[in-house]
Amino acid sequence: MSTPEPSGTSPARKVGIPRRLAFVLFPPLFLVAHGVVPWAISLLGPWYGWTDGNPAVWNLLGLVTVAIGIVVLLWLTINGYTYVAQIPERVELNWEPKLLMTRGPYAYSRHPMYLAELGLWFGWAVLYGSVIVLAGFVVLCVVVSTLAPREERALEAKFGEAYRQYRARVPRWLGIPQGGSDTGRTRLWPTLSRAGR
């Protein structure tokens, strides 16, 4: 039995933003969080490998993972636009999953955005030769390792069998999609994933 609401009050309104605004705000917020913030915190310590304002060759290797992270984020953005019709007009600002994405980068990883973020932070740490940014990368690893299972439980609760089939096909972190079940173990290569079941 539910308790009736007192007269003159309305149910709590969920906080949300218009869908178009979400698509406009996402790229600059992401740029700040994963581009400006690592640069800013790198200024708090020394930049190892840099001499007279120039990076060492090993610092430049960080640009490889930064470039990969950027490419994956662009792919995610383009892929996201293909789902725009399925996104509600008002996007609630909460952790509840809005839709089940299975195409594009989501066909190779259940968490491609996290992988792109980690690639960016690791790349910036190497490029700047910054122990502080590397520590930020480690913290981000712990955070995404905690959030990923939580998100997966929410997706399974909302999408049921469709999500379970997707989870059985696609590795949590990175790999080649296959049939069969996956308990969340990382599948880097098909031979390793078969042996690890």
DSSP 106: G
pTM (2 decimals)?
0.78
Residue 5 within a domain: no
Residue 26 within a domain: yes
pLDDT of 183 > 50? The answer is: no
Q: What is the dihedral of CA 148, 150, 155, 161, to 10 degrees?
A: 100
Residue 7 within a domain: no
Residues 6+ apart with CB under 8 A from 176: 108, 187, 189, 190
Residue 80 within a domain: yes
Cα angle 193, 195, 197; round to 5: 70
- pLDDT tens by residue, 4-36: 555 555 555 677 778 778 778 888 888 899 999
| Average pLDDT value for the chain | 82
pLDDT of 125 > 50? The answer is: yes
Q: What is the CATH number of the domain that holds 88?
A: 1.20.120
Residue 152 within a domain: yes
pLDDT confidence of residue 195: 35
Number of structural domains (the chain) is 1
Domain that holds residue 39: 17-189
Residues 6+ apart with CB under 8 A from 169: 177, 178, 179, 182
Residue 3 within a domain: no
Q: pLDDT-based confidence at 187, cuts 50/70/90?
A: very low
Q: Which of 85, 172, 68 is nearest to 126 (CA)?
A: 68
- Mean pLDDT (whole number) for 38-49: 96
- pLDDT tens by residue, 126-158: 999 999 999 999 999 999 999 999 999 999 999
Residue 101 within a domain: yes
Residue 195 within a domain: no
The length of the chain, given as a count of residues: 197
